[in-house]
Structure 1
Amino acid sequence: MENDADSALWAPVEITPAAAGAEASARGLVEYLGSLPDLGSLLTREKALVFRGFGVEPAGLDEVMDLLLPHRLAYVHGNSPRTKVGANVYTSTEYPAEYAISMHNEMSYAHQWPARLLFFCETAPLSGGATPVIDGTRWLSCLDPEVRAAFRDGVRYTQNLHGGLGLGKSWQSTFETEDRAHVEAFLGESGATWQWSPDGGLRVSQVRPAIVRHPVTGDEVWFNQADQWHPAALGDDTAAALAAIMPAEELPQSVSFADGSPIPDAYAIQVRDRGLANAVDVDWHAGDLLLIDNVLVGHGRRPFTGPRRVLVAMSD
């Protein structure tokens, strides 16, 4: 296993008004971004960028986002609880503050995933609450060869989405529609299989890669959310409680290898723990922004106290 003593951790590049030669304001950031010859190449090279000290406020966010995210996407088929607060702008994951969220690439379980993610800190937490980020090549290399080999053929994600009342998310919330035909058209294009249940719920199954190559750099990276969909990675108490309520195939979300065989608990826990252990924390101050390449970089969340509010948007 690669560890901190073996090589220096990659970290996002921090851009401040002084470093950019710009005014410490949203307008200054807009002018700086407009002066860049190729933001895409910069992001691909550095993998993640932190814009700090520009004092961006919600009222000035749209103009900044228009430059950082040329084509904002809706969070359709997303499995995380969020609130939509603007034009394809959402709250970050609304899991309880006392829990860490393990590393992942946004919507890596879907047939199409965003190329870029942008986080904006509207309200900083009193303590904790960093967004850890990890270089996907490092995450892949820090796993045991046995684990990497086991995931080479991909994974199968299964969702049980209720029709308005039940555990987890509803299909209406997941697909941002009440129209079954619209959902079926979306799933038909995705290569997923699905089945409506008599109680109005929806079961979706889809095989996706676990390791991919970046389309520009060719870097091979760990790219899946198997540990987040695996009961073992939720912790012993939570996993035991869920097992007592229902079998794994009936959980709101579950995962197996692509051929349907079970993923060993130890594999899921290793992926979760080594991802978090090899991540670099981005601490938040109000007005900060973090832009990441969603294939090259995984992200998560540290526990926190206080009224943390971080918004997220994404683009292709």
Structure 2
Amino acid sequence: MATGRFFRQVNLPEQKHYDDGVIFPVVLTPNTSVDCNLTEEAKVCAFKEAIKAEKQWLESIVDKCGAILFRGFPIKSPYDFNDIVEAFGFPKMEYTGGRAPRTEVISHVYTSNENPPEERIAFHHELSYIQDPPSKLFFFCEQEPGKGGQTSIVLSHIIYDKMKVKHPEFIEDLEEHGVINVAIMKEEDDVSNVGGRSWKSAYMTTDKKVADERAAKQGAKLEWMQGNAVKSSIGPLPAFRFDEKSQRKTWFNNVSYAKIVPLNDSNVNDIDAYIELGNGSLVPDQAQKDSSKIMEDECVLISWKKGDVMLVNNFTVLHGREPLLKPPRRILVSLCK
């Protein structure tokens, strides 16, 4: 792979190399020819200008390989990170309808999932349960983890291909019926729960009517319950996406982690995500276990270094989080259309 004028490609032991020439993820560092005498501010400006100048090349990498990890650049603050995101020129998205507890740091820059950091977060495509999810994700390591806390990423088409071999009938059912995503949200945030964001935070309002309107724009229907809790339902949605650029199908659903038991009177107050096929059938337990196992086997663990920025194609790459074994850890995110 050719490198740009400003960027130099390097290798990491955890990278995966595939027969079709895909390197996952691609890792770029500053070119050694960049003037080392520049101030930190000037280096950030040079990074932004390099992105603008080589945006087409960088986007081609993300289209082919799924993710770029930028390492060794002088990105130190949320404001630096925001400048880098804006340099790419992708339209930004608000985190409307999302279920993870998060805080907006500056405009369209959010904390990562604020649930207990010692808990693992399962693989997922960001906001795969709405009709118009983000196409690009940016991650920024503001505070390097003491130990653990890696972000795990995996190429989604590999999950689809392997599951089609292992569970062909289930894949046919998913193709035909799609999936229905259901979530229970309470009135206030619960940071002890991976999906514990309240409906007030998710829809950025305290007005139920406004929440209904904003949910409807994402294809979701809200059913109000006792105690001001709400059941959000959306679907059927396609369980897979077809990526035009790679000509591959991707595993774009929450089968691997959502609850697959029926939602009934006994659990209707549980803050959690549920999934079923579009015809009302439940996901087979073994299919859920196998999809999770394949993801674990095929993933790459990104051990964060302070200042790292990672650009991820949300349509072709799933991501998750490993348990934090030793604080601190602060990863910020930005979502783009």
Give TM-score scaled by structure 1 length.
0.86
Using a 3 Å threshold, how does the CA distance of structure 1 residues 213 and 43 change in structure 2: closer, same or farther?
same
Question: Residue 29 of structure 2 corresponds to which residue in structure 1?
Answer: 16
Question: Residue 172 of structure 2 corresponds to which residue in structure 1?
Answer: 149
CA contact (8 A) 2:49 2:87 kept: no
**1:33 counterpart letter in structure 2:** I
Whole-angstrom distance in 2 between the partners of 1:160 and 1:64: 35
Q: What secondary structure, in the 3-state scheme, does the structure 2 residue paired with 1:16 have?
A: strand
Two-structure CA RMSD over aligned residues (Å): 2.7
CA contact (8 A) 2:48 2:83 kept: yes
Using a 3 Å threshold, how does the CA distance of structure 1 residues 246 and 286 change in structure 2: closer, same or farther?
farther
Whole-angstrom distance in 1 between the partners of 2:298 and 2:270: 29
After TM superposition, give the deviation of residue 30 of structure 1 in Å.
Answer: 1.2
Whole-angstrom distance in 1 between the partners of 2:248 and 2:152: 21
Using a 3 Å threshold, how does the CA distance of structure 1 residues 82 and 37 change in structure 2: closer, same or farther?
closer
| Structure 2 residue 244 is matched with structure 1 residue 220 | no
Whole-angstrom distance in 1 between the partners of 2:232 and 2:333: 25
Question: Residue 240 of structure 2 corresponds to which residue in structure 1?
Answer: 211
Question: Residue 101 of structure 1 corresponds to which residue in structure 2?
Answer: 121
Using a 3 Å threshold, how does the CA distance of structure 1 residues 285 and 200 change in structure 2: closer, same or farther?
same
| Structure 2 residue 107 is matched with structure 1 residue 87 | yes
CA contact (8 A) 2:184 2:270 kept: yes
Whole-angstrom distance in 2 between the partners of 1:261 and 1:50: 40
Q: Which piece of structure 1 moves more, 298-307 or 250-259?
A: 250-259
**1:18 counterpart letter in structure 2:** N
Alignment of 1:159-170 (within 5 A): 159-164=183-188, 168-170=196-198
After TM superposition, give the deviation of residue 231 of structure 1 in Å.
Answer: 6.1
CA contact (8 A) 1:10 1:135 kept: no
CA contact (8 A) 2:17 2:24 kept: no
Whole-angstrom distance in 2 between the partners of 1:36 and 1:128: 33
After TM superposition, give the deviation of residue 246 of structure 1 in Å.
Answer: 7.1
CA contact (8 A) 1:231 1:254 kept: yes
Whole-angstrom distance in 2 between the partners of 1:223 and 1:148: 12
Using a 3 Å threshold, how does the CA distance of structure 1 residues 295 and 122 change in structure 2: closer, same or farther?
same
| Structure 2 residue 53 is matched with structure 1 residue 35 | yes
Unaligned runs of 5+ in 1: 233-242
Whole-angstrom distance in 2 between the partners of 1:283 and 1:115: 23
**1:211 counterpart letter in structure 2:** F
Count of residue pairs brought into register by the alignment: 301
CA contact (8 A) 2:71 2:307 kept: yes
Give TM-score scaled by structure 2 length.
0.81
